[in-house]
Amino acid sequence: MLPRSRVSIAAVTPEELCALYAARVCRFAAVVAGRDGDPDDIAQDALLKAITRLDRFDARRGSMEGWLWHNVANTAKDATRKARLRALLTERLGRREPAVINLEDVAVERLAAGELLEAIARLSPRDRQLLGLRFVADLDTASVGQIVGLSAESARRAIGRALDRLRLLVSGGVR
């Protein structure tokens, strides 16, 4: 477990921020990225934004973790918007993007986790954020609720509904 009290009370350096959160940010980015986002780019952009904005973090407004997860989720939303705009512009211009084979992507797709990530990618951005905060960032429901603007009980129910939708996607629609 990370030393939450130190992070939420004292200012951290960029090095400490990366040491404490980089791996979890990457995992969270993989969940919230959706189909259109590149999790590595999202994680890198989110960490860079957090580092450049560390001086703006206000512990009175919430925890460092909450601020960081919110930053990653917003970066993922921005990436999705940009990808959709790029696809729309490409379509309108009548051009196709060149097919690029990424061996890393091929390897990841062959892993069993690839199926789960695909199912997660088909969830709404809100469901991805809820599940990512709860199970990847390992936050309790009260913390998740605070980040997304819900009470702890509402967050618990919303996470449960998101899990139900994920189970349905993973099982191929069979209950």
CA 172/CA 175 separation, integer angstroms: 9
Confidence band for 123, pLDDT divided at 50, 70 and 90? very high
Dig out the tokens for 22 from the structure. Answer: 């980089």
40 has pLDDT over 90: no
What is the pLDDT, as a whole number, of residue 136? 85
5 has pLDDT over 50: no
pTM of the model: 0.57
Confidence band for 127, pLDDT divided at 50, 70 and 90? very high
Q: How many CA atoms are closer than 13 Å to the CA of 131, on its beta-carbon side?
A: 27
CA 172/CA 169 separation, integer angstroms: 5
What is the pLDDT, as a whole number, of residue 4? 43
Confidence band for 66, pLDDT divided at 50, 70 and 90? confident
Is residue 132 classed exposed, middle or buried when 0-12, 13-18 and 19+ CB atoms within 10 A define those classes?
Answer: buried
What is the pLDDT, as a whole number, of residue 106? 52
Q: Which of 3-12, 64-73, 97-106, 158-167 has the lowest mean pLDDT?
A: 3-12
Count other Cβ atoms within 10 Å, centred on residue 42. 26
What is Dmax (Cα atoms) for the chain? Answer: 54
Residue 165: name the closest of 127, 117, 116 by CA: 127
The residue ranking higher by pLDDT, 6 or 19, is: 19
Average predicted confidence (pLDDT) for the chain: 80
